[in-house]
């Protein structure tokens, strides 16, 4: 259950002050018991709310909710029709894919982006779940149409990683690295992930969905479920309005996508190799059942990883490849 009343309670509590059940009940025109149900719904979406007898409910950490108008204002350039903010969705990637299937983006310029405060079915790569608690991170998906078709998208996920890391550097985050093909790391732990999907392939052009999740301040209830070393922006020491983070990332992503569309990944090789945190280190490359061990030598002009084994260099491409530091 998430409706206009739940939204009203969320907006009222966002600043982090105590709100009693009675006050909230009066505000929403419902009973205290009914307020309790909405509070439960917010907790189920991952919002960290606690209650104190005699004082009421309070968020463990205040949040600034995402606002379409604020993100558009920060971006300037009259692009508000290209940004949408939802509170709860299944997955922003699925939402964009549905719009493509229904033909809603046929006449839209590339770059239409949907942010969500929470995802109930957030997806990661390789069928993993992407934990998406309410208000704790950034979850968004961007649509992009490639008129030259799928071949023009080689290396796209790497270019998106570059956009994210450059945006985060602008926001003051240091010690970032990229892990091929598309993870953003902070001090060796995963800070952000990218899920790129293809939808509605026509004969020539293709529609791409670029999904991005960036950990901002994950609640303990969620961190216990994550099965790999992770980081969030709170640990980096930056504490910014998520609208500012969203707008900065979107600006970098739009610039990168425009360059990528015109010049492909070859325009980004040097930028990638500067932030690749595995260049020059021993790696294991897993391709299906195969493991290739060698030294990472960075990426080629198509975004393939170059691995040196027994003095010979070979380049590998493809979505099923993963990379690990050797023990």
Nearer to ligand BTN, 24 or 253 (CB): 253
Contact status, residue 211 vs residue 128, Cβ threshold 8 Å? no
Tokens of 197: 């999907």
Q: Is 242 a catalytic residue?
A: no
- Scanning 13-21, 49-57, 91-99, 172-180 for contacts with ligand BTN by CB under 6 A, the matching segment is 91-99
Give the sign of the dihedral formed by CA 327, CA 222, CA 321, CA 274: negative
- Min dist CB 117 to ligand BTN, Å, is 12
* Among 12-20, 55-63, 137-145, 280-288, the segment contacting ligand BTN (CB under 6 A): 137-145
Of 187, 193, 191, 176, the residue nearest 141 (C-alpha): 193
| Position among 56, 111, 213, 294 found at the interface with ligand BTN (CB under 6 A) | 213
**DSSP, residue by residue, 134-164:** TTSEEEEEEEEEETT-GGGGTTHHHHHHHHH
Indicate whether 263 belongs to the interface with ligand BTN (CB under 6 A). Answer: no
* Segment near ligand BTN (CB under 6 A); pick from 19-27, 136-144, 155-163, 274-282: 136-144
Active site residue 297: no
Determine which residue in the list 119, 165, 243, 248 makes contact with ligand BTN, applying CB under 6 A.
Answer: 119
Of 122, 133, 264, 303, the residue at the interface with ligand BTN (CB under 6 A) is 122
- Among 253, 181, 189, 260, which Cα is nearest to 223's? 189
Q: Compare residues 191 and 285 and give the one whose CB is closer to ligand BTN.
A: 191
Q: Which stretch binds ligand BTN (CB under 6 A): 33-41, 102-110, 139-147, 173-181?
A: 139-147
* Plot region of 303 (φ>0 → left; ψ -120 to 50 → alpha; else → beta): left
324 is catalytic: yes
d(Cα 183, Cα 165) in Å, to the nearest integer? 10
Q: Which is nearer to ligand BTN, 141 or 296 (CB)?
A: 141
Per annotation, catalytic residue among 97, 99, 125, 242: 125
Which of the 8 DSSP states describes residue 86?
Answer: E
Q: Which two tokens stand for residue 224?
A: 């216990």
Single residue of 135, 211, 264, 294 touching ligand BTN by CB under 6 A: 211
Nearest to 323 by CA among 311, 89, 209, 298: 298
Task: Name the closest residue to ligand BTN (Cβ).
Answer: 193
Q: Are strands 83-89 and 113-119 parallel, antiparallel or unpaired?
A: parallel
Cβ distance to ligand BTN smaller for residue 19 or 142: 142
* From candidates 6, 87, 91, 236, binder to ligand BTN by CB under 6 A: 91
Q: How far is the CB of 197 from ligand BTN (least distance, A)?
A: 9
Given 99, 190, 242, 251, the catalytic residue: 190
Q: Which of 100, 109, 103, 106 is nearest to 77 (CA)?
A: 109
Helix-strand-coil percent breakdown of the chain, rounded to 5?
35, 30, 35
What's the start-to-end Cα distance of the chain, in Å? 47
- 147-186 binders of ligand BTN (CB under 6 A): 183
d(CA 211, CA 229): 21
The residues annotated with a catalytic role in the active site are 125, 190, 324
- Applying CB under 6 A, which residues contact ligand BTN? 91-93, 119, 122-125, 128, 130, 139-141, 183, 193-195, 211-213
């Amino acid at each position: 259950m998430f409706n206009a009343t739940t939204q009203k309670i969320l907006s009222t509590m966002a600043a982090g002050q105590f709100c009693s059940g009675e006050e909230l009940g009066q505000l929403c025109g419902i009973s205290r018991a009914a307020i309790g149900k909405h509070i439960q719904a917010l907790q189920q979406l991952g919002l960290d709310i606690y209650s104190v007898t005699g004082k009421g409910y309070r968020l463990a950490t205040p949040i600034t909710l995402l606002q379409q108008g604020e993100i558009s204002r920060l971006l300037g350039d009259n692009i508000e029709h290209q940004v949408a903010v939802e509170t709860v969705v299944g997955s922003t990637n699925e939402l964009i894919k549905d719009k493509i299937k229904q033909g809603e983006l046929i006449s839209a310029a590339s770059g239409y982006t949907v942010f969500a405060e929470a995802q109930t079915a957030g997806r990661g790569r390789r069928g993993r779940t992407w934990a998406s608690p309410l208000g704790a991170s950034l979850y968004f998906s961007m649509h992009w149409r490639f008129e030259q078709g799928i071949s023009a998208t080689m290396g796209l996920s790497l270019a998106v990683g570059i956009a994210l890391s450059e945006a985060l550097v602008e926001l003051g985050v240091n010690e970032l690295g990229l892990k091929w093909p598309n993870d953003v790391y902070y001090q060796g732990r995963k800070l952000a992930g990218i899920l790129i999907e293809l939808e509605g392939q026509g004969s020539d052009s293709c529609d791409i969905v670029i999904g991005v999740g960036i950990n901002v301040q994950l609640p303990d209830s969620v961190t216990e479920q994550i099965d790999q070393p992770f980081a969030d922006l709170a640990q980096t020491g930056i504490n910014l309005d998520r609208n500012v983070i969203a707008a900065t990332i979107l600006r970098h992503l739009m610039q990168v996508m425009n360059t990528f569309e015109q010049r492909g990944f070859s325009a980004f090789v040097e930028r990638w190799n500067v932030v690749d945190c595995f260049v020059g280190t021993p790696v294991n490359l897993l391709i299906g059942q195969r493991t290739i061990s060698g030294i990472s030598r960075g990426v080629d002009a198509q975004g393939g990883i170059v691995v040196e084994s027994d003095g010979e260099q070979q380049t590998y491409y493809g979505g099923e490849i993963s990379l690990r530091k050797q023990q």
